[in-house]
Structure 1
Amino acid sequence: MLSSLKLPDRASIIELVRYGVIGVLTNSIGYAIYLLITYAGGTPKITMSILYAIGATIGFISNRKWTFSHEGNLLSAGARYVFAHTLGYCLNLSILIILVDHLGYPHQWVQVFSIFAVAGFLFLMFKFFVFPKTLIDQHSQA
């Protein structure tokens, strides 16, 4: 059973590292801003929502070009990206609602957890759905 496991190829590892670099930069800056705004009285969910949209926009440009070297159709990739981030946003919001509102955990720590959970989910969505090197883009370019 273990012998049938396939290790990631070199290109996938490079993509993951690049995704991580972009993620660490954008999320550390975004999280610092999140803490400042919530400390100043901003509500956690509204603050996260605004910063999520800003981070997603920056992420599209950098991940499309640098992480995944995507040359497919910009509009179809953009539509898939919005869909992926809509799911990611719902995941982030659900985590905040459940862990903060219902279970009473501190929002600062829950948001740290959410960043990593959503990042893992989005990497897989970006690699296989948003910026694929498969037939999705070949069909959308026609």
Structure 2
Amino acid sequence: MNLKAPYAGLRDNLLLTKTGEVWAYYRVRSESISTANYDAKEESKKRMRYFLESIKGYQDFHFEMYDHDLDLRNKFKEISKDFDDEAFNVAEYYSKETIDVLEQELQMITHNSFVMGVKIRELADDAVTLKEILKVHYQIRLSVLFRILVLM
């Protein structure tokens, strides 16, 4: 079987499709907020409003969620190195019990990661080069970063 890449080129977070579209991809961090933390909820809403405002000018975007196995057994194995020698057996027992209960209740324990792609433009016009798009893309990234820093 001869598989071919569905894209024409990659550079940093930019993808050029075979049909001439240029997409910029970004990793979006998931966030857990306690329902009792009013200030954090309001700050998250503010960031979400800003995010939605910033993408409304684009005609096409792609948002994808990926589940990642948290691999609790290996994480607890790393933590077990810090268990007190005198209480090692007890700590190990309860860490294994914790993993067993969590896996029994929740099956596989995962963490959500998100990726967002934004179609920057189409290269239908031969006058537009990938170099020009990269230049505009980096100018956009700098202005977005500046706006985020101002909000902080």
Using the size of structure 2 for normalisation, the TM-score is 0.33
Using the size of structure 1 for normalisation, the TM-score is 0.35
From the two aligned structures, give the one with the greater strand fraction. 2
From the two aligned structures, give the one with the greater helix fraction. 1
